[in-house]
Amino acid sequence: MTVLEVAPRGPLSGTIHVPGDKSISHRALLLNALATGDARVRGLLRGEDVMRSLAAIRALGVVVDDDGETLVVHGTGALTEPEDVVDCGNSGTTLRLLAGILAAEPFHAVLTGDDSLRGRPMGRVVTPLRALGARLDGRQDGTRAPLAVRGGTIAPGARFDLPVASAQVKTALLLAGRRGGIAVREPDTSRDHTERMLRRMGADLAVDDAGWLTLAPTPSLAPLDVDVPGDLSSAAFWMVAAAIVPGSCLTLPRVLVNPTRAGVLDALRAMGADVVVTPVDAPGAEEVADVVVRHRPLHGARIDGALALRCLDELPVLAIAAATASGRTVIADAAELRVKESDRIARVVAGLTALGVDVVERPDGMVITGGPLVGPAPIDAHGDHRIAMAFAVAACVAPGGVRIAGAEAIATSYPTFLADLDRVRAG
């Protein structure tokens, strides 16, 4: 286990080209693996999670060339049975999207992952896939990884009303039901990258007034070249760092700002942050912008409802911003945080408490009253990349610094994070 020590070192300044977006990187590989023809992918995130998706499609018989810059996915419209267990590591996106893909394939496959992934709930995807006609079995109540999948003919025209908004589950169902058509509805709109990509690959997807998203029968998909924009979720660490460290200014070029994802920009503005977003031309299906954040004292805000969903992955680092702000911040309607790579509500509350912050845990979030952070503080990342990076940001303003156990998890989504931190702190 790697223990990372970070201590304050003055203002942060400069430009950070954050790595490619994780959600789009997974989809660029997994969706193009289903297409018929060659797709070029540039700017792919080379983090451990996405490398799991790459290894998985290769294990399913898809040839991928990689010159270190551009990957070419040679889709044939067909997958083959993997010879061995497919290890998704820490990546919930890999496991859930693959479960959907494999539900429609007439062969046997076993999906597993690390301790964290094997402990995460999969019933939300397993139950509807079973209802479609796929055979899935797992540990405990039958829904935990390792998951054995034997797919095949999927009932056409099925409809699912999802109890929880989840892009992973929505995507899994769309991919499972793509050949015969399927309709899904969520209580709120989760990130819509899959819909945008499928449309560009030739699929007919429509949303009606009642919120049903219907995918017409899609016998084949055209390959889609993807230029992966910078990951907004990775950029969020720098946005908060620049906002809270006095004297800082960071520029983040070409970051994804898809509105279904961009709640962190709204949340920071609601806290009084100085955030300038300049849209740039981008060839793909997604909105991209240059983002500049300058230090300015923050105040508390309420982050709940649809806004909380639009910044769910960024809530741990927004909690750090809240801890340094004046007044109270309420984070609510975010119970999903408890079933991410760790229980992120519990981890953030424990970490902030160690830093001397007044924080009250709630079932669906927390209430934070801002004040000075007091280090040195021991933090346990519990194998969760976003917890490790959020507290590395906190360390920039915590006298005495922070010691983060389990910081190796950072490599799942942002392998160059510590190098970038060192560089912008050197001025």
Contact 176/104 with Cβ under 8 angstroms?
yes
> H or E segment at 14?
strand 13-15
Which of residues 81 and 364 has its CB atom nearest to ligand S3P in the complex? 364
C-alpha 295, offset from chain centre: 26
- For residue 110, what are the β-bridge partners? 148
Is 166 a binding residue for ligand S3P by CB under 6 A? The answer is yes
Considering only 312, 407, 410, 424, the residue that binds ligand S3P (CB under 6 A) is: 312
* 313-352: contacts with ligand S3P (CB under 6 A): 313, 336
Which of residues 13 and 190 has its CB atom nearest to ligand S3P in the complex? 190
Q: Least Å distance between CB 148 and ligand S3P?
A: 22
Contact 423/14 with Cβ under 8 angstroms?
yes
217-251 residues labelled b (16+ CB within 10 A) or e (exposed): ebeebebbbbbbbbbbbbbbbbbbbbbbbeebbbb
Which of residues 189 and 329 has its CB atom nearest to ligand S3P in the complex? 189
Query: In whole angstroms, what is the distance from residue 208 CA to residue 229 CA?
Result: 29
Of these residues, 21, 114, 231, 313, which one is catalytic?
A: 313
* 175-214: contacts with ligand S3P (CB under 6 A): 190-191
Cis geometry, peptide bond prior to residue 146 (ω within 30 degrees of 0): yes
**Token reading at 295:** 């230090």
By CB under 6 A, which span of 75-83, 163-171, 203-211, 371-379 interacts with ligand S3P? 163-171
Considering only 32, 168, 218, 258, the residue that binds ligand S3P (CB under 6 A) is: 168
Which of residues 28 and 323 has its CB atom nearest to ligand S3P in the complex? 28
Is 23 a binding residue for ligand S3P by CB under 6 A? The answer is yes
Strand order in the sheet with 249-256: 13-15, 249-256, 288-294, 274-280
Which of residues 167 and 321 has its CB atom nearest to ligand S3P in the complex? 167
- String of contacts with ligand S3P for each residue 243-282, x by CB under 6 A: ----------------------------------------
Q: Is 227 a catalytic residue?
A: no
C-alpha 205, offset from chain centre: 23
Name the residues annotated as catalytic. 313
Binding site for ligand S3P (CB under 6 A): 23, 26, 93, 166-168, 171, 190-191, 312-313, 336
